[in-house]
Chain A
Amino acid sequence: MPKVNTLNFNTDWQYAEAPESSDHVQLESRYGHFINGKFVAPANGRYFKTINPANEAKLADIASGSAADVDKAVRAAKKGYKTWSRTPAKERAKYVYRIARMLQERSREFAVIESMDGGKPIRESKNIDIPLAAAHFFYYAGWADKLDYAFPNRRASSIGVAGQIIPWNFPLLMAAWKIAPAIATGNTVVLKPAETTPLTALMLAKVIQESGLPDGVVNIITGAGKTGSAIVNHPGIQKIAFTGSTEVGKIIQKAIAGTNKRYTLELGGKAANIIFEDAAIDQAVEGIINGIFFNQGHVCCAGSRLFIQESVADLVIRKLKDRMETLIVGDPLDKNTDIGAINSKDQLDKIKYYLKIGVNEGAEMYQPSCRIPQKGYWCRPTLFLNCAQSHRIVQEEIFGPVLAVQTFRTVDEGIEKANNTPYGLSGGVWTDKGSKIFKVSSKLRAGVIWANTYNKFDPSSPFGGYKESGMGREGGLHGLMPYLELN
């Protein structure tokens, strides 16, 4: 029997299904690589399938990239570089602006395909992924002919061919983060999208084709880890930009050690959200929910650790549980869905593995009562209470909708525990006191700190990590530097 003062969110009045229409979406049955302005078949003739993680249905066959394909793409990029790097900056900017506008025009189609291929709720792909991707192209188009102002009294020149490898959590947005600054500054690129989410990058290739961008400036090769490795090790590439796991980041660092390749690495995270007793509690709870359950927790800067000051811990936990009861898990294309499908079976297995670890470590697991679909890859939003700093679920990145909760007594204890991690990508501070925001955020060792909000992104703001969360910054003025030789 429920307690007297338990809220019941299983209401008599329920929301009906509200699916976003996907009639306007036309997918081809098979996609080749995009090399030198054309879609071409893979050299070895091999394809792999990409599926919809919400129902396991096949969406298309995707070319499997071999070393020969990569070599062909790098040659095309090298050839393209000869003219692109000498194209006047304001002419380059025109193309980049055009790509941005075309993304906006086709935003609905991009959003639906992003949700079908990756499993993320349409609410997010429509409101966040696609608009932000367009915003990155707009932003870097603006810098193209203003580098003298960005770096006064220095001469900025492009560096050559950039090899770019991106993850599956924000497929189009990560492609935009990588391509926009590179081509705006006069470089050419060979980009590899993740093998589970190649579709929007290939649609972007079509947009690029239609934009009239000269052949070879952007080349897109699809494939898995081996294809990525061929890009990293290709001698014709001057710079590697990678976003993904810390594990692969380390492999890349080893592979390019001793070469003169530059690199930026955007790696894992285990961000701490710290709620102080003077915070606006209800709004903090909302921020924690968005911090960890945004994109099913497949976010490198997800607020996956929560530290609550002990005097408000019971209240915050109770409110978190009630809020979780109202989260809608299900069809990514339904406009009311809050949490979509886990991106792949591999990732779901990894999350399940950590759930087991958490339970075995003695943490108290809480999941709301929501129903989840039979087919596809799903995970209920999860809290682990009574966690210890030594638990693996506190130390390791899970990359799923799993929040590890701990309490603290003093401000210093909160800061010390938050910093006690090999990662340092992001963090959140929740307090009503402005002075505390400055004191705490200046002591947190992480690249991005949000105060009384979380997961806010803007192309003008640099993003990147401390410690094992990566090297270099993307976004903002800082995001130009990895693509420029400054003299």
Chain B
Amino acid sequence: MAVKTRKTRQSKPIPSHFPNIDQVGIEERVARLNSRSIKKDSKVKALKLALSMIDLTTLEGKDTEGKVRQLCYKALHLHDSLPKLPHVAAVCVYNSMVGIAKETLAGSDIKVASVATAFPSGMSTLKVKLQETKFAIGQGADEVDMVISRGKFLAGEYNYVTDEIAAIKEACGKVHLKVILETGELNTLDNVRKASDLAIFAGADFIKTSTGKIQPAATMPVTLVMLEAIRDHYYLTGKKIGMKPAGGISKAKQAIQYLVMVKETLGNAWLNNNLFRFGASSLANDIIMQIIKQETGRYHSKDYISID
């Protein structure tokens, strides 16, 4: 397997030059984007859009089949007393739960995403990671969320990291591959840019910030750097790579700020769940609460919205 991917690498050497990132400039741009004032109709539209982009997630050691079934039911019925609410884009679970999720969601167009490749640490061999990926796909996963080998990346072994992603991508075939950079462990925005470029080069369909297990998880500066990497790739090749910030986005206001950033960095083509997702567990309910507030003028108690 690894031999095969190395062949493709030889025809096209991995990137050796990565654009510089100025952290101060990134933070200023984020502050400017966050100053956009989103009101009235525009706010409701953004909230519904954000709902439709959520990968409703449960990734805990104590997950049970029952919990996953409930999560899937919630994915289908976010808040049935509110008409015309979209449903989320996908549910995201461990690979042992993919079968249950698939079964529960049968007949809907909600995707099932499975984490793989020794999530969340990635500390395993390529062989084991490939096996795990194939198992998830065999169970019916529509999307695979893999993690990169951060230890190898930080040691400068970019070939290893790239080959590994390419190998998993090959195993995925038509199944969508999201590559988690775990930016909370990459330390600098320059590294975030490098890892984004390598993942895109190796065949990622989406790049994703975090596992949610490491702090900080998704941040706006990190996401902006990744969106700019996606934009540069699009300029060069015309190919659209998706983006998924995950972890730490629990408020509707944050979600709108992310949408503003996508709108002003990549434009219309990315403002849908084919190319932009939120990895989140509690965001959906905060958005529902805000939509109810927009419609009724009052905030509901949380007790009126189902937790899962």
Contact = CB atoms under 8 A, between A and B. Distances in A.
A4 B234 CA distance: 10
A453 B29 CA distance: 12
A5 B234 contact: yes
Nearest to A282: B228
B20 A8 contact: no
Interface string B15-39: 0000111101110110000011111
A18 B20 contact: no
Interface stretch (B6-14, B134-142, B153-161, B265-273): B265-273
Contacts of A326: 263-264
28 contacts: A7-B269, A8-B269, A9-B267, A9-B268, A10-B267, A11-B267, A13-B45, A13-B263, A15-B37, A16-B38, A16-B39, A16-B43, A18-B38, A278-B20, A279-B20, A280-B20, A280-B25, A281-B19, A284-B22, A284-B25, A286-B25, A326-B264, A335-B35, A335-B37, A336-B36, A336-B37, A432-B20, A453-B24
Given A5-B235, A9-B268, A15 B38 contact: yes
Given A280-B19, A281-B19, A283-B21, A8 B29 contact: no
Contact of B237 (A5, A282, A336): A5
A contact patch SS:
loop
A171 B93 CA distance: 59
Contacts of A281: 19-20
A5 B230 CA distance: 12
Contacts, number: 90
Closest 7 CB pairs of A and B: A283-B25, A280-B22, A18-B37, A16-B42, A5-B238, A335-B37, A283-B22
Given A9-B264, A9-B267, A326-B264, A452 B25 contact: yes
Interface in A1-28: 4-5, 7-18
B268 A8 contact: yes
Nearest to A280: B22
Interface string B35-76: 111111111011001000000000000000000000000000
A198 interface: no
Interface in B221-280: 228, 231, 234-235, 237-238, 259, 263-264, 266-269, 271
Interface of A: 4-5, 7-18, 123, 278-284, 286-287, 315, 318, 326, 335-336, 432, 452-453
A318 B235 contact: yes
Contacts of A5: 234-235, 237-238
B265 to A, nearest CB: 8
A284 B22 CA distance: 9
Contact of B268 (A11, A123, A280): A11
Given A280-B20, A283-B26, A13 B234 contact: no
Nearest to B239: A5
Given A9-B268, A16-B38, 11 more contacts: A4-B238, A11-B271, A13-B49, A18-B39, A278-B20, A279-B20, A281-B20, A283-B24, A287-B25, A336-B36, A432-B20
Given A7-B231, A7-B234, A123-B35, A13 B259 contact: yes
A147 B43 CA distance: 54
Majority secondary structure of chain B interface residues (helix, strand, loop or mixed): helix
A453 B238 CA distance: 31
Contacts of A15: 36-38, 42
B46 to A, nearest CB: 6
B22 A12 contact: no
Contacts of B269: 7-8
A417 B39 CA distance: 46
A128 to B, nearest CB: 12
Nearest to B269: A8
B266 A7 contact: yes
Could you say which of A9, A15, A17 has the most chain B C-beta atoms within 10 Å of its C-beta? A15
Contacts of B37: 15, 18, 335-336
Contacts of A18: 37-39
Contacts of B271: 11-13
A134 B39 CA distance: 31
B268 A10 contact: yes
Contacts of A9: 263-264, 267-268
Contacts of B267: 7-11
Given A123-B35, A286-B28, A286-B29, A14 B42 contact: yes
- Chain B CB within 10 Å, residue with most, of A16, A18, A284, A287: A16
B200 to A, nearest CB: 14
A282 B228 CA distance: 8
Contact of B24 (A8, A11, A279, A452): A452
A292 to B, nearest CB: 16
A12 B271 CA distance: 8
A433 to B, nearest CB: 10
Contacts of B40: 16
Given A7-B267, A282-B228, A286-B25, A16 B234 contact: no
Contacts of A452: 22, 24-25
Contacts of A315: 235
Contact of A453 (B21, B25, B39, B42): B25
B36 to A, nearest CB: 6
Contacts of A335: 35-37
A18 B40 CA distance: 9
A287 B32 CA distance: 12
**Which one of A7, A14, A278 has the greatest number of beta carbons of chain B within 10 Å?**
A7
A326 B267 CA distance: 9
B78 to A, nearest CB: 20
A336 B40 CA distance: 14
Contacts of A123: 35
